[in-house]
Structure 1
Amino acid sequence: MPDTPPPEIARTLTLRVAVTMRRERAPNAWEDWRHTPHDVALDDGTLGHTPRTLRDDGRERLTLHPGLPLLLHADEGEGYHLNLSSGAPVWFVMWRGAEDDPSEAAPEFVTLSYNEAGRLLDAQERVDNVPLPAELVQMLQAFTSAHYRPEPKQRRRPASFQRPGDRR
């Protein structure tokens, strides 16, 4: 019988996060603007619902984007495991620039799954990462441990030990 997760850990966990985006004006001769996620934090609902500027000195602007959902799904366990086992777990932030104004950009999606981030990159989306704080690494580890069971490794016999008709 396969191991089943304890009933007290839900198969789906929904959190809210706030992403702080950093915008640099003319960071080099080839770009007018550069956008990057600067920070991600849990949002307890006190940060509001609309983006707001935290700091703008004309050269650099930090804008807080609260209320983004972060969904953890039991079937993404391998992706969470890969993120945790990387040695430096991260938030993966997918963001888009405004079509009509290249000086604006906003986060669209946040995940902790390495596989989900890879699928977004395969779809030509912009995905950057931000270090994950230690207390959230522990939470992600608990969720992953409850739901992820690696596939057992299958030993493959070398071709030289197989009958000629069974070799590939």
Structure 2
Amino acid sequence: MRERPALTVAVTIDRHRAPTRWEDWRFSIVDVTIDEGQFGDQPLQLHDDGTVARFLHPGLRVELHTDEGEGYYLNLTSGQPSWFVWWRIDDDDPSMARPQMVTLSYHEAGRQLDAEERVDTVVLPPDVREELQAFTDAHYRPEPKRRVRPASFKAPDQR
């Protein structure tokens, strides 16, 4: 069995303390970085000034699947190709957010959003965009558009 093309990435998340009087914490996805093992395998706290803390979560695998070709195509043609980061607030520690998955498929991100999960985007770097474009070109062909005949040209019993 052939292994799927994949990248390992690290996700950087900022945590803001009490950004409003109604929120204890607010989280934002800051960056997605290629992880070649230099970050270890445990989350790292990069910064904490009492108001904003920054955490790096390494070791997330992004696999490319041939059956997700349309989702990759839609991402590439969206005007702003992106990483899609699905993340959750930790149930045991609400002051922490953890990435669950990173994908390049517009459809996969949509499925997570349909399930009412949190998904944020980070702009895709040019080198990863080129790799995704090459994979999509090799494995996906958009269906040709079919002309729909106007109802006025159809017989009344076919309308």
Q: Normalising by structure 2, what TM-score?
A: 0.95
> In structure 1, which of residues 8, 23, 46 is the aligned counterpart of residue 15 of structure 2?
23
State the identity %: 59
**Aligned CA-pair RMSD:** 1.3
Residue 56 of structure 2 aligns to a residue in which SS? strand
Does 2:98 align with 1:109?
Answer: no
- Asked whether the 8 Å contact 1:95–1:126 carries over to 2, the reply is yes
In the other structure, the counterpart of 2:73 is 81
Following superposition, the deviation at residue 11 of structure 1 comes to: 8.3
In the other structure, the counterpart of 2:27 is 35
Residue 64 of structure 2 aligns to a residue in which SS? strand
Distance 1:45 1:22 in 2: 22
Residue 80 of structure 2 aligns to a residue in which SS? coil
In the other structure, the counterpart of 1:123 is 115
- Asked whether the 8 Å contact 1:15–1:69 carries over to 2, the reply is yes
Does 2:130 align with 1:138?
Answer: yes
Residue 12 of structure 1 aligns to a residue in which SS? coil
**AA at the equivalent of 1:158:** P
In the other structure, the counterpart of 1:44 is 36
Distance 1:128 1:31 in 2: 19
Distance 2:32 2:12 in 1: 6
Residue 83 of structure 1 aligns to a residue in which SS? helix
Residue 70 of structure 2 aligns to a residue in which SS? helix
- Asked whether the 8 Å contact 1:16–1:43 carries over to 2, the reply is yes
> In structure 1, which of residues 152, 158, 161 is the aligned counterpart of residue 144 of structure 2?
152
Unpaired segments ≥5 residues, structure 2: none
Distance 2:150 2:4 in 1: 41
- Encode CA deviations 1:32-60: one digit per residue, 9 max, x unaligned: 10011110011112210000101111111
Q: Displaced runs of 4+ in structure 1, greater than 3 A?
A: none
Following superposition, the deviation at residue 12 of structure 1 comes to: 2.8
Following superposition, the deviation at residue 100 of structure 1 comes to: 2.6
In the other structure, the counterpart of 1:7 is none
Distance 1:76 1:41 in 2: 22
- Asked whether the 8 Å contact 1:11–1:73 carries over to 2, the reply is no
